[in-house]
Amino acid sequence: MAIRQDRVELKGSARAAMPGGQDKGPANPEEQIQVTIHLRRGSKPTEFAIDAKKTTGPLSKRTYLSREEFARTHGASEADRKEIRAFAAQFGLKVDREDPAARSVKLSGTVQAFSSAFGTDLRHYQHPSGTYRCRTGSLTIPATLESVVEGVFGLDNRPQAKAHFRLRNKAQAAAVSYSPVQVTEAYSYPTGVTGSGQCIAVIELGGGFNTSDLNAFFQNLGIPAPKVTAVSVDGATNSPTGSPNGPDGEVELDLEVAGSAAPGAQLAAYFAPNTDQGFIDAVTTAANDTNLKPSILSISWGGPETSWTEQARNSLSSACEDAATMGITVLVAAGDDGASDGVSGGALIVDFPASSPFVLACGGTSLQLSGTMIKSEQVWNDLSSNEGATGGGVSESFALPSFQSGAIVPKAPNGFVGRGVPDVSGDADPATGYDVVVDGKPSVIGGTSAVAPLWAGLFALINQSLGKNVGYINSLLYSAKEQASFHDITSGNNGGYSAGPGWDPCTGLGSPNGAALLAALKDS
C-alpha cells in the first residue's frame, strides 16, 4: 500500500544525466545498496559560525574542539536520528550505522525501496568507463525531514572525481626531475623537526600502495619509511592496480611526497569508492577518527564545480568546516587542466573541493633549481602540448570569504563575487616533476596532486615546532606578515588568468619559504 505523506524536494539534489552515458534501462529493483543520509548539525547555525569560534584569530589565542567535544556539541542529534529511523522503517529500509559525529546515518535496502523512499527512478547507464547506477532530476523527502536532511548519497554511483596527477610522458624525457627532499630544501622547510606526533591523512578514491614500493623509495633517499595505515571506507580497500597511469600513481605520490617532507609523521590513507558518497564519507571518517586523530588532511582528487550537485558541494564543504573547527588543516589540489578545469567549450571553471572556503587550495608552478636554490619559478602551463596546467579561478558557488577581502579577486565569469582559487602553490609541472616509485618502477610525476601533500608535510613540521595545530590557517596566511614568507610568482598564466604581484588566480599567494612561515606563525 502506498505511503501517504506530504513531500518536498530535497534542496540541491537535482542531478543531470551522466555525460557520455547511455541509458540502458531500469536498475535491478532487487539490488541491495547502501545510502548515506547527511544530517544537519545538532547546534544552531549561529552557534557554529567558524568566525565566532576562537579558530581564526591570532594563533597564540586559538582553541579548537576535541573530536569528542565536537560530536557532543555539534553532532547529529538523537531526535534527528530518531526521525530517520522512523522514515527508514516506513519504507522497509535497514539502519546499518549511525555516526553522530559525522552527522550521517547509513541505510541499506533494495533499489525499489530506495526509489520509493526518495521519489526517484534509478537507471543503468553504460559509459566508456563502465556501467553505473544513475538518477536524474531531484529527490523528494517527507516535509517533516526538510530541515533535518542536508544530503542523500549513494543512490547514484557514477564516478565523481579524478586524481590530479600527471605522469611525465616520453616527449618530456629530457626535462629535469627532483626528489621530494630537493623540493623541500629549495622551499626552506624547517629543519630539526620531522613531523613527529602528527598524523597526515590522505583521501584516496581508488588504487593502492605497495609497502615494497614505499620501502624502496625511502631507502633510496636514506629516510626511514614512515608508518602507513590503510583505512577502509564504504568497503573500499588498499587495492593496487599494477598500473602507474592509474590511481596507484596518485596514492604512492601522496604518501611518498608527504613522507619525504615529514618523515616522522604517521600517514593514514583513507580508501573510499570514487562517488560523491565515498568522497564525503572518507572526509568525515578521517576528520572524526578518534584513533589515528589526523591533524592534517590532504586531498588530491576533485572535479569541476559544475559536475557536483549542490547538496554534494555543500555537504563536503561543511565536512571540511567541521574539520577546521577540530583544528585540522585541509589541503586540496586545485586541478591540472588550467582555468577551464578540462570542461569543453572554453568556460572558466574552478575545481571542487579546492573551491571550498574551508580548505587551503594548492596550485602549481614550474620550478627550476640551481643546486639547492630556486633559479626560477613560474606558473605551470603545458596546455600547448596537452600536458596540463594549474587550475585556478573564481568560484560560482562559494562567496568571497573574509580572508580574501584584501586580495584582488576578480568576479567569476557569471559576475558572482566568489572565492578565489588557489591560495598557495608549489612545484607541479611534470617537466620539473618528482622522482617517485610506483608499482615497482621509478617514475616522474607532477600535477597539483603533489602540492597538497607537499604542503601537508610542511604543516606537520610547523605543528611539531609550535607544539600546537595551526588548524584553519587561511586567515593568517593572507595577513601581511605571513604573505612575506611566500615566493611570489608573477610570471605565466593558466589559460584564463595571469600571474601578478600578490595573490592571483594561478598560484595564489605563491610557493612557500617554510622557515620564514614558521617564524611568522610563532609571532602570531
CA atoms within 13 A on the CB side of 87: 27
- Count CB atoms within 10 A of the CB of residue 468: 16
- By annotation, the residues acting in catalysis are 250, 254, 449
pLDDT single digits (tens) 91-110:
999 999 999 999 999 999 99
The predicted model gives 118-136 an average pLDDT of: 97
Note the pLDDT tens digit of each residue in 451-485. Answer: 999 999 999 999 999 999 999 999 999 987 777 89
pLDDT, one tens digit per residue, over 41-87 is: 999 776 777 765 566 777 888 889 999 999 999 999 999 999 999 99
Non-local (6+) Cβ contacts of 79 within 8 A are: none
Joined grid coordinates for residue 80? 534527528
Cell of 224: 626511514
Q: How far apart are CA 142 and CA 117, in angstroms?
A: 9
- In 3D, which of 387, 398, 382 has the Cα closest to residue 350? 398
Average the pLDDT over 237-242 and give the result. Answer: 96
| Burial (Cβ within 10 Å: 0-12, 13-18, ≥19) of residue 248 | buried
Confidence of residue 1 (pLDDT cuts 50, 70, 90): very low
Positions of CATH 3.40.50.200 in the chain: 162-522
Closest to 151 in 3D by CA, of 114, 105, 109, 111? 105
CA dist., res. 486 & res. 367, Å (int): 14
Q: CA-to-CA distance for 377 and 390, rounded, in angstroms?
A: 13
Q: Helix or strand or coil: residue 503?
A: coil
Residue 176 · residue 108 · CB < 8 Å:
no
DSSP 403: G
pLDDT in tens, 302-338: 999 999 999 999 999 999 999 999 999 999 999 999 9
Kindly report each contact of residues 26-32 with a partner whose C-beta sits within 8 Å and lies 24 or more positions away, as own/partner.
26/121, 26/122, 26/123, 26/124, 27/111, 27/122, 27/123, 27/124, 27/133, 28/111, 29/110, 29/111, 29/112, 29/115, 30/110, 30/111, 30/112, 31/110, 31/111, 31/133, 32/108, 32/109, 32/110
Q: What does the block give as the cell for 54?
A: 576562537
Q: What is the pLDDT of residue 257?
A: 98
Parallel/antiparallel/unpaired status of strands 166-167 and 441-446: antiparallel
Chain centre to alpha carbon of residue 497: 23
Q: Are 1 and 135 in contact (CB under 8 A)?
A: no
Instruction: Kindly write down the DSSP assignment for every residue of 229-288, as one continuous string.
Output: EEEESTT------S-TTTHHHHHHHHHHHHHHH-TTSEEEEEE--SSHHHHHHHHHHHHT
CA-to-CA distance for 178 and 434, rounded, in angstroms?
A: 5
Position 479 scores a pLDDT of: 87
DSSP code string of 367-392: EEEETTEEEEEEE-B-GGGTS-B---
Give me the CATH topology for the region 162-522: Rossmann fold (3.40.50)
Q: What is the pLDDT of residue 4?
A: 57
DSSP state for residue 210 in the 8-state scheme:
-
